[in-house]
Copies of this chain bind each other. A is one copy, B any other.
Amino acid sequence: MKNFTSVYDVQQLDALVKKALAYKAAPFKDKTLGAGKRIGLLFLNPSMRTRLSTQIAAQNLGMEPIVFNVGQEGWALEFEEEAIMSGSTVEHVKDAAPIMGNYFDILAIRTFPSLKNREDDYSELYIKQFIKYAGIPVVSLESATLHPLQSLTDIITINECLNASPLPAGKKPKIVLTWAPHVKPLPQCVANSFSQWVNAWGKADFVITHPEDYELDEQFTKGATITHDQDEALKDADFVYVKNWSTFKDYGKIYNNDPEWMLTNEKLSVTNNAKVMHCLPVRRNVELSDEILDGPNSIVTQEASNRVWAAQAVLSEILESKK
């Protein structure tokens, strides 16, 4: 593995999942793999799970993580080619990235979309510029349109649950991605990415449900069944992934914020006792009810805790490729 920005960077997804679960069983089994290596973790936006789990993953492999909060501890970066930098950006990624490439062995970056201009966000300029100019492997800690470490974790967690409670032979798990209400417009990253990874995994009956106007970009959802009828979607589901996103077409808007779309135990009753997933942070009693989050169907803590093993598997792959 060279970079890690989407499922297309993964050669064998099943093997990567297996590797992650092996690290969960034995966190320090490769504790010298990254000896003398450094990873730079660059945050252009806030982060909790991603920040902590990637530091831990690196340390488990013997790497030294160095965290840099770009805007708070440094200054604003410029990403546009040929910019005349007389405004508020202080340093061009063309100048910063190659230096990072000399300071570190792996560079990991978190950057959010503006939600103002769809074309700009979906061009993934920021992370692409880092890849172009850093000259070392780049790991996405969430980008403008995708969140691959989250999605890898989700696939790992689904596999773990299926290993623990296998379905009848030959039955595919039914996985439902359902839109949920929120208080402000959020990126489509997690929903795009989850769709991309479930499709690439290819072992599920995958259904996406959301109100009208919340259609996601087809490049990620193609292959899934899409419906506006949440109740219909939830029938016999084995996993329900709950997530809010803002509109894709008329970009970055909230059209419908119907609280009826919040998942409840009543709604869950038509599922196959489905496991409920969410990437967190979650707005309790807006996106997801207390009764679900505090109940036996929620696997959000297991999911978030698996972030360490997902990151460790990815860093391990990159370190091994560099050898």
Q: Which residues of A are at the interface with B, using a C-beta cutoff of 8 A? A: 28, 36, 38, 40, 43, 46-49, 51-53, 55-56, 59, 64, 66, 68-70, 72-75, 78, 82-87, 90-92, 94-96, 98-100, 102-103, 183, 280-286, 290, 293-294, 300-301, 304-305, 308
Contact = CB atoms under 8 A, between A and B. Distances in A.
Given A95-B280, A99-B304, A103-B308, A56 B66 contact: yes
A84 B301 CA distance: 20
A95 B282 CA distance: 8
A66 B86 CA distance: 34
A48 B75 contact: yes
A72 B71 CA distance: 11
When all copies of this chain in the complex are counted, the total is 3
9 contacts: A47-B73, A47-B74, A51-B68, A52-B68, A52-B100, A53-B103, A83-B285, A86-B183, A91-B282
A283 B86 contact: yes
A70 B36 CA distance: 29
Contacts of A281: 75, 90-91, 95-96
Contacts of A64: 59
Contact of A55 (B47, B66, B85, B294): B66
Contacts of A78: 284
A144 to B, nearest CB: 19
Contacts of A38: 56, 59
A284 B84 contact: yes
B284 A85 contact: yes
Contacts of A59: 38, 64
A75 to B, nearest CB: 6
Contacts of A95: 280-282, 284, 293, 300-301
Contacts of A293: 94-95
Nearest to A28: B36
A87 B284 CA distance: 11
Given A38-B56, A43-B73, A102-B301, 17 more contacts: A48-B68, A51-B74, A53-B103, A59-B64, A69-B72, A75-B281, A78-B284, A82-B285, A85-B284, A86-B283, A86-B286, A91-B282, A95-B281, A99-B301, A99-B304, A102-B304, A103-B305
A51 B73 CA distance: 9
A56 B283 contact: no
A103 B82 CA distance: 43
Contacts of A280: 91, 95-96, 99
Contacts of A56: 38, 66, 103
Contact of A305 (B46, B99, B305): B99
A311 to B, nearest CB: 11
Nearest to A182: B86
The 6 lowest CB-CB distance pairs between A and B, nearest first, are A91-B281, A102-B305, A85-B283, A48-B74, A84-B285, A99-B304
